[in-house]
Amino acid sequence: MARHLITSAIPYINGIKHLGNLVGSQLPADLYARYQRGRGNEVLFLCATDEHGTPAELAATKAGKPVAEYCAEMHDVQARIAQGFRLSFDHFGRSSSVHNRQLTQHFAGVLADRGLIREVSETQMYSPDDGRYLPDRYIEGTCPNCGFDSARGDQCDNCTKQLDPVDLINPHSTISGATNLEMRETKHLYLRQSEMRDELQAWIDSKTDWPVLTTSIAKKWLNDGDGLQDRGITRDLDWGVPVKRGTQDWPGMEGKVFYVWFDAPIEYIACAQEWVDAGKGTDWQRWWRTDAGADDVTYTQFMGKDNVPFHTLSFPATILGSGEPWKLVDYIKSFNYLNYEGGQFSTSRGRGVFMDQALEVLPPDYWRWWLLSHAPESSDAEFTWENFQASVNKDLADVLGNFVSRVTKFCRSKFGEVVPEGGSFGAQEDALIADLTARIARYQDMMDEMEVRKSAQELRAIWAAGNEYLQSAAPWTVFKEDPERAAAIVRLSLNLIRLYAILSAPFIPDAAATLKEAMKLDEMPWPDDVAAALASLAPGTGFDVPENLFRKISDEEREDWQGRFSGKRD
C-alpha cells in the first residue's frame, strides 16, 4: 500500500472563494486524494485557511470585526462550503494555530543559526494619513513589469511577478486611498535565498516529470534578471506570527510579525499536528519527517500558477535551509486561470460565481464535473453558462444518467428489482470487456499522472461505451424472442452501474454514493480485473431504481443564471 501526502494551496481567509480558486487547487487535490483512497492507498489530505497578513486585516476592518474573530468565523464558513463541495480533507486547519506559530518561529531560529537570515535596514512606504507603514496589500499601484494598474505590493496578479511596495508606479494606500506616501526607515529580516540558488536549481532540475507550467515559472524566477533574490520575511503589522528566534525574543524586531508567505506554507506541517490534536491521527511525523518514516511518502502539492514561485523557491529554501530531515514535495501540479464569461474571476472585485452561490444553484456534482473536465491545465480556461449547460446535459444527464435509468427501469419492468439470472455472455460482451479493460487502464494512467481533463474524457468514454453496448444489444427487443439472453444483457449492464460508481467516485462522489446505495453495495473495491468486476453482482441480488440521477438544465434556467451572476456580488 502506497502512502500519499496531498496538500492544496491554502486559501486566504478574506471572504468566500470563487470557482476559479476551487478548480485551481482544492478540487483537483480532492480528485487525486479520492482516487488514491479508491485504489486502496493510505492518504493524508491537508488544507487550511491562510489567516495572517494584510488580506485578513483589511477584510476584518471592512467587516467591522476584530481580526481574530473575523478569521474564526470565516474559517467555519470556508470549512462548511468545502464540505458542501465534498472536499475530503483529512483535516482543514488554520495558519493562526499554536503549532504554526511555534514551527514558524522554530524555522526562523534554525535558519538564522545557519546564517541564512540577515537583518536589513530599509526604507518603506509610510502613510501619514493612515499613521502606519504600508506593506504588501495595503498598497496598490501600476506594475513596473507589465503595466497592470491594480498590482499589489507583494505580487502582480496579471504577470505573477513578485514585487515590493516600493516597486509600484503611482502607489496608493488601500486603506484610505492616500497618495501622499513617503519613505521611512525600518528594519526587517531577509531570507538569504540567493545563497541557496545552486541547491534549489539542482533540486528543480531533478524534477523532470513536473508540469512545464511549474518548472517554467520556477526557472524564470531563478534565472531572470539578477537571478534569485533574497526575500523579506517580516512585516510591520499587528496580526501574524510574532517575530522570535525560536523561543527567544529577537532584538530589534519587537512589534513585527513574519511575512504571511513565510508562515503560510509551514502550516502544511502544522496542519498535520492539528490533525493529531483533533484525534483524527496518531503520528504526524511519519508523514513529514524523513527520520520518522516519511521517506516512503509521495508528497504532491496542488496550486494555481500564482503560488508556484513560493512553493518552488521560498518554501523549499526554508525546508532545505533548515538542514533538518523534513519531507520535500515530490510533485507540484499547477494550474492556469479559469476566467468567467469573457472576464476574470476576482474575489476582491466580486466578479464571477462564488462557491456559496454555486451550491445554491445546483448540487456539487454538477460543478465538480464541469470544473474538472474543463480544468485549466495547459492554458487558461473559461466558464460560460452555455458550455456548462451543454456539459451537464450531455455528459451527466444523457450519458451516465440515461444509462442508469434505462437499465434499472427496464429490469424492474421485466425481471423485478433483482439482478436476473439465465443466459450467457457472447461476442458483444467479450468486445465490451476488452474495450473497457483498455479504457480503464488509460483512465488509471491519466489519474496517476494527474492529467485531470484527460481523465475526465476517458471516464466519459467509459460511460459512453456502456450506452453503446446497451443500444446495440437492445435487451428490450431481444426479450421478445429470448428472455434469457435479455437477462444476461441486463445483468452485465447492472454490473456496469456498479463499475461506474467506483470509477466515477473521485469526480462525482454524491452520484457514486447514490449508485452504491441503489445497488445495495457495502464495499466497492477498485476493479483490477474488469471481467470479474462485471460479474460481481450475483443473480438474485436486489437493487433500487435511482430516480433522476442528474436533471437537465433548461434554457430558461441558464438565461436566468446568466443575468443573476453577471459578475457583480452584493
Same domain? 342 vs 414: no
Contact 503, 527 (CB under 8 A): yes
Is 411 annotated as a binding-site member? no
Contact 169, 125 (CB under 8 A): no
Taking the C-alpha atoms of residue 170 and residue 288, their distance in angstroms, rounded to an integer, is 44
Contact 354, 317 (CB under 8 A): no
- Is position 222 within any domain? no
Taking the C-alpha atoms of residue 470 and residue 467, their distance in angstroms, rounded to an integer, is 5
Q: What is the pLDDT of residue 352?
A: 81
Taking the C-alpha atoms of residue 165 and residue 172, their distance in angstroms, rounded to an integer, is 10
Same domain? 402 vs 303: no
Number of domains observed in the structure of the chain: 2
- Is position 483 within any domain? yes
Same domain? 449 vs 492: yes
- Is position 191 within any domain? no
Same domain? 524 vs 413: yes
Same domain? 358 vs 401: no
Report pLDDT digits (tens) over 141-187: 999 999 999 998 888 888 888 888 888 999 999 888 999 999 888 99
Same domain? 404 vs 340: no
Taking the C-alpha atoms of residue 67 and residue 57, their distance in angstroms, rounded to an integer, is 6
- Is position 402 within any domain? yes
- Is position 321 within any domain? yes
* CATH code of residue 523: 1.10.730.10
Same domain? 110 vs 25: yes
- Is position 323 within any domain? yes
Same domain? 446 vs 529: yes
Same domain? 345 vs 476: no
Same domain? 357 vs 421: no
- pTM for the whole structure: 0.92
Taking the C-alpha atoms of residue 403 and residue 494, their distance in angstroms, rounded to an integer, is 10
- Is position 169 within any domain? no
Taking the C-alpha atoms of residue 282 and residue 260, their distance in angstroms, rounded to an integer, is 28
Per-residue pLDDT of the chain (570 residues; tens, 9 = 90+): 999 999 999 999 998 999 999 999 999 999 999 999 999 999 999 999 999 988 898 889 889 999 999 999 999 999 999 999 999 999 999 999 999 999 999 999 999 999 999 999 988 889 999 888 887 778 999 999 999 999 988 888 888 888 888 889 999 998 889 999 998 889 999 999 999 999 999 999 999 999 999 999 999 989 876 678 999 999 988 899 999 999 999 999 999 999 999 999 999 999 999 999 999 999 999 999 999 999 999 999 999 999 999 999 999 999 999 999 999 999 999 999 999 988 887 665 666 899 999 999 999 999 999 999 999 999 999 999 999 999 999 999 999 999 999 999 999 999 999 999 999 999 999 999 999 999 999 999 999 999 999 999 999 999 999 999 999 999 999 999 999 999 999 999 999 999 999 999 999 999 999 999 999 998 889 999 999 999 999 999 999 999 889 999 999 999 999 888 875 544
62 CA to centre of own chain? 27
Is 146 annotated as a binding-site member? yes
Q: How many Cβ atoms sit within 10 Å of the Cβ of residue 209?
A: 9
Q: What is the pLDDT of residue 21?
A: 92
Same domain? 333 vs 464: no
Contact 113, 183 (CB under 8 A): no
SS3 65: coil
Is 156 annotated as a binding-site member? yes
List 236's β-bridge partners, or say none. Answer: none
Q: In this structure, are strands 3-8 and 42-49 parallel, antiparallel, or unpaired?
A: parallel
- Is position 569 within any domain? no
Same domain? 502 vs 426: yes
Angle (CA) 528-533-537 rounded to 5° is: 155
| Domain end call among 382, 409, 430 | 382
Q: What is the pLDDT of residue 568?
A: 53
Edge-to-edge strands, sheet with 132-133:
132-133, 117-127, 182-191, 231-232
Q: What is the pLDDT of residue 68?
A: 97
Q: What are the φ and ψ backbone dihedral angles of 431, each rounded to 5 degrees?
A: -65, -40
Taking the C-alpha atoms of residue 506 and residue 33, their distance in angstroms, rounded to an integer, is 8
143 CA to centre of own chain? 28
- Domain with 48, as residue range(s), is 3-115+197-207+259-364+377-382
* CATH code of residue 79: 3.40.50.620
| Domain end call among 382, 408, 424 | 382
